[in-house]
Amino acid sequence: MKIESIDLQLSRIPLPKGPWGDQIHKVTHIEIILADIKTDTGLVGTGFSHTSGVGGRMMIAALEELIPELIGREVNPRAIWHDAWQYLRDNGPGGTTTLALAAIDIALWDLLGLHFGVPLATLLGGKVRDRVKLYGSGINLNLSAEEVVEQVKSWKAAGFFAGKVKVGKPDLEEDVYRLAKIREAVGQYPLMVDANQGWTYAEAVRAVTRFRDLNLYWVEEPLRVDDVVSHARLRARTTIPIGLGENVYTLQQFNQYLVEDACDFIQADLGRVGGITPYMDIAALGRAYNAPMAPHFIVELSANVLTAVPNALCGEMTDGGTMTELGIILPQPPQNGFFVPRDVPGNGLEYNREWLTQHAVNLEEA
């Protein structure tokens, strides 16, 4: 089975609940890069990648240069990923490079599943669990303390095993107040916080010191993610576990974090690391260090992959930001706080083509 053609589409999807904001972001829409790979057998596999609103055209340009190298190749995700990464990596080993490759890689795994008539987890070695627990996650730094409390209470009521809220108010004591109000409302329900890389080292030390009695499950991205040394220094000074990975792109970068004892939970994003092929390598690396996998975003695919990952912990149910809520795929809602993959060949995603086309970018325009 050989690749005959690859068609690309870039769409900009509006956020259903309005703009997202945290310490360093303001997101008004999500970009989706869709790749349809057709084979000489007539099968078509579909993959995608995503951005937080910036960079989609760069990824399309990279893929347009790569496509001639892929036409005629046998459908072999691992071989193609490594060759394609080598072809593009002079533009950077991760980031736009791996984000672009994700659309191809996910489509190739979808093709294999369709070809053999088996679900994705079977291709990845078989299920180690039939469902994946979820945690509620909110882009909620702009909400009042009362609103955040109600949001976390709603996640607990929905069966999500934990909740995650943003921190990074200009006054640290406001963060402490908000978290204390949540604790008061939900008791010892597992609670994570996410700083989105917004603190200096000194600010992070002060924050984790003030948070130490709140029994937090993890503190996420307390510092800029390219600063491994400072994460290791912070990790040595706090009893709060550190989670990160949504902005870490390569196996080698994750290895550096683990070698330096700089993180406890691996939150690798399937799109940002380059797709399913590198994600499984990162999961195996995490298993060697006894580090759980808790992927960022795109829960309908990432939780599907987690059913075949022994060291899987959970998927992230982003409030207002799932592929279902964004209208990218036909609905796959959680079931009592868990994600249960569809038992169908391929990756189980059915794309809302009409919605994606409605929001497609005209790539012919300058």
Closest CA to 163 of 129, 186, 132, 131: 186
Query: Which tokens in the block code for residue 128?
Result: 């180690």
Decide: helix, strand or coil at residue 239.
coil
CA angle 302, 305, 310 (to 5 degrees): 120
Decide: helix, strand or coil at residue 144.
coil
Length of the chain: 366
Residues paired with residue 10 on neighbouring β-strands, in sequence order: 33
Residue 246: what are its φ and ψ, rounded to 5°? Answer: -65, -20
Q: Is 29 a catalytic residue?
A: no
**Residue of 133, 156, 231, 296 with catalytic role:** 296
**Residue of 133, 166, 231, 359 with catalytic role:** 166
Q: Looking up tokens 């910036």, which residue turns up?
A: 54
CA angle 214, 219, 225 (to 5 degrees): 160
- Measure the CA–CA gap between 350 and 131, rounded to whole angstroms: 19
Closest CA to 70 of 7, 144, 164: 7
- Measure the CA–CA gap between 242 and 255, rounded to whole angstroms: 15
Question: Which DSSP symbol is given to 25?
Answer: -
Q: Is 296 a catalytic residue?
A: yes
Strands 242-244 vs 29-39: parallel, antiparallel or unpaired = unpaired
- The DSSP code sequence of 321-359 is TSTTTTTSBS----BTTEE----SSBT---B-HHHHHHT
Catalytic residues: 166, 296
